[in-house]
Structure 1
Amino acid sequence: MALAKTVYNLLFRRTSTFAVTIMVGAIFFERVFDQAGDAVFDQLNRGKLWKHIQHNYENKEEE
């Protein structure tokens, strides 16, 4: 209960801090959701994307 009261007093009591908390939370959620979506896409398409098969088609030039 004390934790909830502390969070309320720090983040949700004033409108300005509430708005900033919502904005920061939205940005954080967007970043996590985007990275998770990319990871799922890469996993489902493993072996089909250029970054996975690039070594088959590029020649290593010897110096």
Structure 2
Amino acid sequence: MALAKSVYNLLFRRTSTFAITIMCGAIVFERVFDQAGDTLFEQINRGKLWKHIKHNYEEAEEE
């Protein structure tokens, strides 16, 4: 209960800190959700994406 009271007093008691907390939380959530989605997409499509197969089609440059 003491942790909840501390969090309330620190982050949610005043409107300004509540708004900043919500904005920062939304930014962090967006970044984590985006990274998780990209990772899941790459796991599902491993071996099918250009970055995984481009070595099969590129020719070595000769000088």
Q: Taking structure 2 as the reference length, what is the TM-score of the superposition?
A: 0.93
CA RMSD of aligned residues (A): 1.0
CA deviations 1:2-36 (Å, max 9, x no partner) are 11111000000000000000000000000000000
Unaligned runs of 5+ in 2: none
Q: How many residues align?
A: 63
Deviation at 1:52, TM superposition (A): 0.4
C-alpha distance in 1, partners of 2:49/2:31? 22
Instruction: Give matches, 1:1-63, under 5 Å.
Output: 1-63=1-63
Gaps of at least 5 residues in structure 1 are none
Task: Give the counterpart letter for 1:5 in structure 2.
Answer: K
Identity %: 83
TM-score (norm 1): 0.93
* Aligned mates of 2:55, 2:9 — CA distance in 1: 56
